[in-house]
Amino acid sequence: MPAPHDNGHDDLGIAQPPVDLLQQVQADVTRAGGEVAPDPDRIGAIGATMFDLPGSTDHTVTILLPQDQIREAPSQSLVRIKSRDGRKYLAIVTAGPFAEPDSLRADSHLLVTVTARGGVYLPPYHGRLQVAILGEELEDGSLAPPRFRPLPNSPVVALTDDEAGKVLRTDGDIRLGSVVGYRNVVVNVPSDKKAVLPRHLAVLGTTGAGKSTTVARLIQQAQAAGMAVILLDVEGEYTYIHEPTDDAKMLAALADRGLDAAGVPVANTTLYHLVGRDTTNPGHPHRRAFALQFARLSPYVIMNILDLSEAQQLRFMNAYDIAKEVMRDLGIFPARKDAEQERLAAELDEFERGYPRMTLSLLLDVVGACHAKADRPSAEGKKTRTREEDDEPITFKPFNAILASAEGMKSLRTRLHAANVQGNAISWRALLGKLGRLNRLKVFFNEQGGAQPLNYKQLLRPGNVSVVDLSDSGASELNNLVIADLLHGVQDDQDEAYAAYEKATAADPAATQPPRVLIIIEEAHEFLSAERIDKMRILFEQVSTIARRGRKRWLSLAFVTQLPQHLPRQIYGLVNSYILHKITDPQVVRDLQRTVSGIDESLWGRLTGLAPGQAIVSFPHLARPLLVAIDPAPCKLRMVN
C-alpha cells in the first residue's frame, strides 16, 4: 500500500483518514452526551412493524423479522406490539412467516436462474408476518377495542406459552388439544360455565377427518369432569369405550403428547341397546336391553314419524281420544279419586308428550274397533247405515288384556258409539297397517313383562357414560323413535331436578346444582335433516324446545355429522360452539361461513386442507377461534382410522 504523504494523500492521490480519527469520533460522542442507551422496548424483540401499504386493511399489520428470528413467530402465535406512541397491542399471526430476500425481489431473474439450475446462492433475507390485532392492551392487562393502529417500526415481542394461554382464555377442565403453533398451549373447555357447554355444540367434518377421535376424547374428558354423558351411537363405534386403545398409531400419538391410554372407568359405563336388537359388543360387562315408552311419545310426533296422510291423522286422533276416555273409565289414568292425576291430565300438553300409561296395544285395539265398525255392511246394501244400525254392537276381539275384560269391552263400545267415528273401512285399514308395522318392531314396554324402559335418573348421574347402541335398529324411523323418547325423558327428569334445585336454593344458597348433562347425537343428519324436518315439524319443535330450555338447565346437545349440508339452518341457530374438521366441499364451506361467525378468512382458507385430527375450534369462552391439534383418543374405538 503506498505510504501517505504529509498532505494526507498517498502516491495515487487518494485521501487517507487521520491517524487519530477514532479518538476524534469518541471525543465528539462524549461532547454530545455519550452513547445512546438501547431502547428498552427493543429488548427481546423479534421484529418490527412495517409501513402500511395501499392494500392494507383494518386490524391487520405487517411485521418484518430478522433472518434469525423467523422461527420465533409461527402461525397462530401471539405477539405484543409496543407502538412508538406508547400504546401496546396484542396480535395473532394469521399469515406467514414468509421468507423474503433483503435486496432482491423473490422472483428476480438472478434468484430464479440460480435456483432453477441447482445453484447454492442464498442472499441475506428476512421474514414477513401478517397479524390480526386482538385489541389494545390496557394497564390492568385487559384488552379494549383498538382505536388506532401501531406506528411503523414499532418493536414486536413474542408472548410466552403462559401469556398466550391467558390471552386466548384456554382454561377449563375438559382438554381438547394443543394450539397449532404452540407446543405447550392447550385448549380446554370449562364444564362448569353455563355460557359454554349448555349452549350446544356441532362437530362437523368429512369421513376420516377425526370426528370420532374428537368425540371419544370429549366423552372421556367430560366424564372425568363429572358430567353425565349420553351418546346416541348409530354405528356402534363407541361400544368399547371402557377399554384403553390398542391402536398402534393412537398409542404413538398419545406418547408424543405425554398422555396415557385409558378407557372410561368401566364402573361408570353402561351400554344400552333396544330390546330384540343386537349390540356390537355383546360382552360388555354393563349391558342393558331397554324398551321404549309409547306413552312418552307425543301423538303428533308419532303421526310425523309414521308419515300419516291428513285423513289418517284425523282418524288417528279420533282413536287416540277414544282410548283416553276408555282409560279414564277404567281408572287407568287418571286413577279414580286421584286429584293429582286429574290435574296432570287436565294440564297435559300433547305437543310435548303422550297420554300417561297409554300403550300401543290399547291404541291398536281401539283402531281395530273403529275399523270393525266402519267395515260393517249396511242393511239391504245401502251405502250408509241408519242410526239404529250404527248403534248395534260390533263384533271385535281385542288383544289388549284390559280391553278383553267385560268392563273394558263395555267401556270401549260405549265410547265408540258416543264418538263420531269418521271414514270408511279402507282408510281405517291403512292406519291399522301402519300402527301394526310399528307394533311388529316389538320395542315398546309391555307391562306384562320384558325389558324395562330407560331409567333416566340413572342416565343423569354425574360421571356416568351411557352409550345407546343403535347399530342394529335397521330403520331410521326406529332411531327417531328412540331419540325422541330419550330426549323427552331426559328433559323431564332434568326439569324436575332443576326445579328441586331452585326450591332448595331458596333455603340454602349452597345447595347442590343439577347434574351437568352432555347428549351427543352421532350422524345427526339422519335424525335432523332438512327433508325430515319438513315432514316431522313437531319432532323438530321438541328438539328446539329442549335446546332452548337446556341452556338454563345444564343440558347440552352435541350434533355430530359428516354431512353438514344436510342439517337445516335452524339447527345452526341453536349452536354456539363448533369443532370443524376438514371439509372439502367448497359450497359447504361457503354456507358455513355465512352461518358461523367469528372465524377469520385465514382459518376458513385452511379448512379444506386440514390434516386428520386438526380442527378449527370455536367456543364462547375463547378469545378467538383457533386451529387445534385434537388430542388422540385414549380409549378404544371400533372403526378408528
- Rama region for 613: left / alpha / beta (φ>0; ψ in -120 to 50; rest): left
C-alpha cell read off for 258: 405425554
For the chain, the C-alpha Rg in angstroms (whole number) is: 36
C-alpha cell at 599: 372465524
Look at the block and give the residue holding cell 386403545: 245
Pairing of β 555-561 and β 78-82: unpaired
pLDDT band at 412 (very low <50, low <70, confident <90, very high): confident
* Grid coordinates of 287: 349391558
Query: pLDDT digit string (tens) for 430-473?
Result: 999 999 988 888 888 876 567 888 999 999 999 999 999 999 88
Amino acid letter, residue 125: Y
Share of the chain above pLDDT 70, in %: 90
Average pLDDT score over the chain: 85
Average pLDDT score over residue span 124-140: 90
Show the cell assigned to 102.
Answer: 433483503
The tens digit of pLDDT for each residue in 22-39 reads: 888 888 878 877 776 667
Check the CA dihedral 304-306-310-311 and report its sign: negative
Q: What is the pLDDT of residues 276-313, one digit of tens each?
A: 899 999 999 999 999 988 888 889 888 887 888 888 99
Burial label for 489, CB within 10 Å (0-12, 13-18, 19+), is: buried
CA angle, residues 118, 121, 127, in degrees to nearest 5 = 115
List CB contacts of 537: < 8 A, sequence separation 6 or more: 304
**What was the pLDDT predicted at 387?**
46
Q: Residue 16 corresponds to which cell in the numbers above?
A: 487517507
Q: How far apart are the first and last CA of the chain?
A: 75
Euclidean distance between CA atoms 74 and 90, whole angstroms: 15
- For residue 212, the SS3 value is helix
